Amino acid sequence: MHGMKSIMRFGAVAALVAAGILLAGCAATFNHAYDPAASYEGLKSYGWAEGNAGLAQDIVAKNVRYHADRVLEKKGFRRTSENPDLLVSVQYENEIGINEYGYRLRMLTLVIQKADGRQAIWRGTATGSISADAASGDLRSAIEGILAKFPPTK
């Protein structure tokens, strides 16, 4: 009986290690860039930049906006359409093809610019295989990782 418990325990540990390796292979990598001369003082509101073709009808962009709104709100930023301090734009690349589980992204980028001069001051990117399905936690995690270092601390 003692031998059977050891075998079951070993099997459970092996399954956890295998799952960890599998999940690590799908993890996104994050990169951030910003203008070190830009001041973030007094910047408290943001809006979503227009001009991306088909953005209003794009379900992936809508899901990105939904999750990013929650992260930015927690950071003290307020979304507004009336004279925002910042504009945020969404850029992404799909993996080639669509699988049965929905869209997968190979890269997701958020660009933040000052609204007054449209000068880009910050950019964050997640690269990897990111599920863009609304039910998946991948997209939320990618956005949280992208915005983790916004605004930058100098």
Domains of the chain: 28-147 (3.30.160.670)
Q: Does the structure show a pLDDT above 70 at 110?
A: yes
Q: Does the structure show a pLDDT above 80 at 109?
A: yes
Confidence of residue 153 (pLDDT cuts 50, 70, 90): confident
Can you say whether residue 153 is alpha, beta or left, with left for phi > 0 and alpha for psi between -120 and 50 degrees? Answer: beta
Q: Is residue 67 a contact partner of residue 76, using CB atoms and an 8 Å limit? A: no
Task: Give 62-65 contacts, CB < 8 A, sequence gap 24+.
Answer: 63/132, 63/134, 63/139, 64/90, 64/92, 64/108, 64/110, 64/139, 64/143, 65/90
pLDDT score, position 94: 83
Q: Is residue 146 a contact partner of residue 124, using CB atoms and an 8 Å limit? A: yes
pTM equals 0.76
Give the integer Cα–Cα distance in Å for 84 and 66. 18
Confidence of residue 37 (pLDDT cuts 50, 70, 90): very high
Give the integer Cα–Cα distance in Å for 139 and 133. 8
49-76 pLDDT, tens per residue? 975 544 445 788 888 999 999 999 999 9
pLDDT score, position 73: 98
114-123 pLDDT, tens per residue? 998 878 999 9
Give the lowest-confidence range in 2-6, 26-30, 136-140.
2-6
Helix (H) or strand (E) holding 124: strand 119-131
Tokens of 49: 């930049």
